[in-house]
Structure formats: structure tokens, C-alpha cells
Homo-oligomer: A and B are copies of this chain.
Amino acid sequence: MKKIVLATLTSIFSLIVVAQEIKSPDGNLTLDFAVREKGSPGYKLTYKNKEVIQWSKLGFEIKGDHHPFDRDFEIVGTEQSQFDETWQPVWGEVKEIRNRYNQLFIRLKQKATDRELMIHFRLFNDGLGFRYEFPLQDSLIYFTLKEEKTEFALTSDHTAWWIPGDYDTQEYNYTKSRLSQVRYLSKDAVDYNVSQTPFSDTGLQTSLMMKSDDGVYINIHEAALIDYPCLHLDLDDKDFILTSHLNPDAQGDKGYLQAPCKTPWRTIIVSDDARDILASKLVLNLNDPCKIEDTSWIKPVKYVGVWWEMINGMSTWAYTDLPSVQLGITDYAETEPNGKHGACNENVRKYIDFAAAHGFDAVLVEGWNIGWEDWFNKSKDYVFDFLTPYPDFDMKALNQYAHMKGVKLMMHHETSGSTRNYERHMDAAYQFMVDNGYNAVKSGYVGNMLPRGEYHSSQWMVNHFLYAVTKAADYKIMVNAHESVRPTGLHRAYPNLLANEAARGTEYEAMAGNSVDHTTILPFTRLIGGPMDYTPGIFEMDMSVHNPENESKVSSTIARQLALYVTMYSPLQMAADYPEVYEKYMDAFRFIKKVAVDWDDTRILEAEPGDYVTIARKAKGTNNWFVGCTVDENGYTSKIDLTFLDAGKTYMATIYGDARDAHYKNNPKAYEIRKVAVTNKSQLSQKCVPGGGYAISIVEVDKSQLKGLKNYKPVGS
């Protein structure tokens, strides 16, 4: 009898739990889960009573599996819970982050194979996160994924801002199109990159930003990518279903897993207000709390560097013009310098002087170490040692000089993708940094990977990138990794990961160019996962001024370059242009000098992907605000309320705007600076020209201070 009763109970239980539903704390979002036809697990997401994600399948394809792992499941357990906490990031856009969600935990069983699979849903006010968990069970411990089979079934042919799916790079301009157009536009969307592996003409990268015709914004990404391949998406452009496409390894396999284990979170941020997408902390909230006990050494950084001149082709990373060098064999003391080496003592001192004069924290120096003569595209294993300076770079003297002036040098570790070599030298290289007084490194992974055949975004490399960050933390070193896998909020757990590149940065403005609307899209896509070292602050837009052979032009006004320090959130901000250029525009440069790199509060004032982004941020530990606005090729008149200011106080706003006749194409350097008194009741209207924008610094003042002001005009008060 007992057995029968139990069976009945289970059966009833199964019926009961066939469908599960939770709502977001504010009730706007509804998540449904059910096991559907053929025992296939599925979920559905509804926003304000409209479906955002239709019934979508979940599951896996396991290598060599005898039974597909995406069907024949039944629910054997469910659990609902609530969570609400507020936490403080070590650095960030806001002082405190609220992590509040309703949770649904599902335990599934594939009876035929005696295997369980668990799915964890967290429903926030701003979206959904879910991940799979594999419990420890005899029937499935070690396994290799052929594919994750997670669907995101969209309701219609949305507009998307996308870059093509690629195993190696995200350094593409974004394309805005209907999903149905992706297939036809993908070829044009792939332009040349030094290491690229686009995988399909309907492959897309995350974070993917979309908008429905009825005005719902949907962002799909992932959080906490650890020891698992990067998530890409395959688009079914008939039914508008996106399916997970994991980044393969050199063998064509995907993840190597050992239970118990968890996948990264799959995230869907949803709102009918685009500003909510930018304000979302969902990805951070889904990451682990800080794993570094003492974080006192982690500080946001504003820096200049010996770099843009190399990008321009005016100086070189390499010390000589030798066609081939071998570390430990090539005797640099005996070689003829090429006379164009950027990282020479004299030039570095110039940058140190400039940094010290203008209050920058650090000077990045690229090309300081031997090996740059043949570093690229040679599949060279022992390409750098990260320890030996070129003869004209006096490591000790330059660091002493910098420290004397209150500035730090910033280390540069280009790996050329030779990751075994980097890991072999990593301890010594970090220790060398400590010994010489460096506390931050920019690392690079340009070109194809070693181990050969491995991709930038495979599980192998995902593991490496985090290894480099955790190792750096052991030495109290902050990391800014370029050409890495794109971020997924890991800086919550590892805040010494200050920033990544992992998108098309300013450097392309000196090469193939960036789309004019690029900086209005990045906050909706690349920045969803974490800060980017975008290296803004270019004032001389015409590259041929430096190098007659380079006809590239930066598609931006100077005013917009200033705005990027606010709109492109990062605790690491570079002033990328030449000191000599800044000397010519000291009034505009003043904004870069003054702008904060860490914040107590952030308000997204205006936002539409591909059109404009206007953000106000309150500098850490002050009552000062900074505002930035970047707009697309059509220009835009920004209208903002300053309600975020304290009531009853008066502020002086210094507005760095486009001149009336400015234009990114033919008059990018025309800007106007005006000062106005403002209060929390002020409204500002500021015209941005095509490719333009503006930046504002807002400082609390006594009314008396305003009196001497020439342009004194109280606005809206």
C-alpha cells in the first residue's frame, strides 16, 4: 500500500507542479515555467501583460549522450523564495545596489536515464536571470557539451542593434536592423579584424539589444561567465527564436563540466523605458559578492599614455626595425634603434610631466619591453618575457621620476595571444610590477591564440582571463584586459578587474573608423557586462595632422569626446590624445581633468539606442555632478531636468557644448563653454550637432560666487 500511496502522491505532485509562475517584486514581470510537449522544459516571460519571451525550450546536447538532455523531463521539485539586500560595490556608478528578486528553483528528472537537472530563475523588477545547475549524481558527473539548447523565443521581428557572432572578437561596428535583415546584412557587418571567426550569417553576440514595435526594450546577455564557454546566439529568422550557441574550443567541443556545477546566468533585461536598461544592475546582482577581502588598494584610475601616437603610426612599439628577434639571444644593445620608439625615456618623461601637471593618476607606457619587432601574427610562442625593458627605457629611473611627481606608471602586458607563455611569466611579471611600484596592468591578446586553434571566447580562454585577474589580485594589481572575452559582471566578485576592451574602441577611429552612433549603442550592449576602456578624449580628429599617410578621422565633436567620460561608465578612464594637442584646448581639457572616475549616484536622463544617451553622475564623496550626452549622426536637442540636485541649493554648471556650426564631419573642434547657475528646478536644453554631444560639470556654490560670472543666467529657476 505504501508504495501506491507514494506513487499517487508523486503523480499528484507532478500535476501540481507542471506549471510554475512567479512575478517580479513590482508585479510587472511574470515568469512561467512548465514541462511541455515531449517533456521539454520551457519558460515564458511576460511584461505588463505582454509576452516578451514566448514559450522557449531549455536543455543541453551532451557529447556522446545516449539520450537527448532536453526532453523527457518531469518536475520533481520546486521552491519559491524572495530575496532583498543592498550591497556596496568597491567602485561603481552608484554607492549602493539593491538586489531584490523573487526566485523559482526547479528540479527536473529525466526518469529514463535517472538524471536530474536544476534550473534557477531570479525575477527582478528589471528582468530575468536563470541558470542551469547539475547536481552531483552517478549518472552524470563528467561530460562535454556539444551545445546548450536555451531558447529565447521572441514575439516578433524586433529591431536589433547587433554585431555578428564571432568566436574571437567583438571589435565590430553595430548594425541596426530588423532581425529578419540580419542574414542579408551580416556579410557587411564583418569587417577586417586581426583575429576573427564569424560563425554564421545569423549568428549574433550578446549583449544583444532589441526593441519591439510596441516599444519594449529587451536585452539578452549573460552574467558570471566562469569556466564555461561564452554565450552567443543563433537566430532563427523565420520564427524569431534565438538559441544559445556556445563558443567551441579548438576541438569543436564546447564546455567540459564536472558536476556539481552551474552554468552562467542567462539574462533578459526588459523595460518600456530605454533608460531602465542602462540603469539595470541585474548582471552585477547575479554575480558573486566580492571575493577579495582587503580592497583598499583598488582605486579607480584616470590616466594618459604613450599609445595614441603608436596607433597613429607616429611612433613605434618596437625599438628596432629588425625583421626577427629572439628573446635572450637578440642583443638589443648591439642593434640600431629605429629612432621612432615611443617608450623612450624622454617621451615617457614628457607624459609623466603632463600627467603630474594635470592631476592624472597614471601613465600607460606600451612598447617598453623587448620583443615588439615581430610580436604579431607569427604564432610565436616565446614572444615576450614581460620583464626586460628596451635599452632606452630606464625602468627604475622612470618609475622614480613618476613617483616623485605623484604619478604611477601603468604596466603593459601584450601577450600576442600566447597564453602559455604569459602564464609561465605571470608570477615573475606581477612581482616585477610590485618591485617597481606599478599597481595596474593593461593586458592584450591581439591575434590568434596559443594554444593554436583556441578561440578568444572559449572555455579555455575564459578560464585564463579570470586566472590572470585572480593572480593579479594576489599581487594587489588592477587589470584592464584588452581583446578578452566580453565581461559579464565579474568585477563584482573581482573588483581589481577595472575594465576590459572587448568591443570596438576609440583606436578604430584612427583606422577603419567607428560608426557615428557607436557611443550611443555601446552602453546598451557592451557596457551591460562591465566597464570598457574606451580611451576617449581625442581632440584632434584628423589623423593626417599627425601622419600624412593616415586619412582617418574621428567621427565625433570635441564636446562629445568630453561627454564620453560620463556616458561610457568606467573606473578607468584615459585621456588618449597627445599632450601637445591638449595644450591647445586647455579650456575643454579642463573637463577631463575635473571629471570623476567613481560615483555615488547615477541618473539616466535620456536614452535611445543608436540615437542619444544622456547621463548624470554624482562624483564619489562630493556633491558635484557631471553630465554627458552623446548623439548620433542626426544630432539631437537634449532637454534635461536637474531634479537630481539637492533642493534649496545653488550650483554652477559649466557646459561644454557643440558650437552652433560644429559637425563631426567638417567642424568637429568647434565647441562652446558656458557657465550657468542652476538649481534642482532647472531645465536645460542643449543642442547637439551631428556626431556631437555635451558635457557638464555641476558644482555647488554660494550664490556670492555667481556674481562675478559673465554669462550668469539663471536657467529655469
Contact = CB atoms under 8 A, between A and B. Distances in A.
Interface stretch (A161-169, A301-309, A450-458): A450-458
A447 to B, nearest CB: 13
Contacts of A326: 258
Interface in A430-462: 451-454, 460
A452 B380 CA distance: 20
A507 interface: no
A149 to B, nearest CB: 22
A381 B423 contact: no
Contacts of A144: 379
Contact of A258 (B378, B420, B451, B454): B378
B138 A452 contact: no
Contact of A249 (B249, B423, B452): B452
Contacts of A258: 324, 326, 374, 378, 380
Contact of A454 (B253, B380, B381, B451): B451
Q: How many copies does the complex hold?
A: 2
Given A324-B259, A420-B420, A452 B250 contact: yes
A256 interface: yes
Given A253-B452, A453-B453, A454-B451, A424 B379 contact: no
Contacts of A463: 381
B256 A453 contact: no
Interface string A399-410: 000000000000
Interface in A367-413: 374, 378-381
Given A142-B324, A144-B379, 12 more contacts: A136-B324, A141-B323, A142-B380, A227-B381, A249-B452, A250-B451, A250-B453, A251-B452, A253-B452, A259-B324, A451-B454, A451-B460
Nearest to A144: B379
A467 interface: yes
A423 to B, nearest CB: 6
A378 B142 contact: yes
A-B residue pairs, 9 tightest by C-beta: A451-B451, A142-B378, A141-B324, A251-B453, A251-B452, A256-B379, A250-B250, A250-B453, A427-B427
A323 B139 CA distance: 11
Contacts of A378: 142, 258
22 contacts: A136-B323, A136-B324, A138-B323, A141-B324, A141-B374, A142-B374, A142-B379, A249-B452, A250-B451, A250-B453, A256-B380, A256-B381, A256-B452, A258-B374, A258-B380, A420-B423, A423-B423, A423-B424, A424-B467, A427-B427, A451-B451, A453-B453
Nearest to A451: B451
Contacts of A460: 451
A673 B250 CA distance: 60
A30 to B, nearest CB: 36
A520 to B, nearest CB: 40
Interface in A42-100: none
A374 B142 CA distance: 10
Contacts of A427: 427
Contacts of A323: 136, 138, 141
A502 to B, nearest CB: 22
A441 to B, nearest CB: 18
Contacts of A251: 250, 452-453
Contacts of A452: 249-251, 253, 256
Nearest to A326: B258
A324 to B, nearest CB: 5
A165 to B, nearest CB: 22
Interface in A132-150: 136, 138, 141-142, 144
A134 B346 CA distance: 39
A174 to B, nearest CB: 33
Contacts of A423: 420, 423-424
A73 B141 CA distance: 58
Nearest to A380: B258
Contacts of A227: 381
Contacts of A379: 142, 144, 256
Contacts of A141: 323-324, 374
Nearest to A142: B378
Interface in A104-129: none
A194 to B, nearest CB: 16
Contacts of A381: 227, 256, 463
Contacts of A253: 452
A379 B251 CA distance: 13
Interface in A233-264: 249-251, 253, 256, 258-259
A82 to B, nearest CB: 28
Contacts of A451: 250, 451, 454, 460
A495 to B, nearest CB: 21
Interface in A217-231: 227
A379 B460 CA distance: 12
A517 to B, nearest CB: 39
Nearest to A378: B142
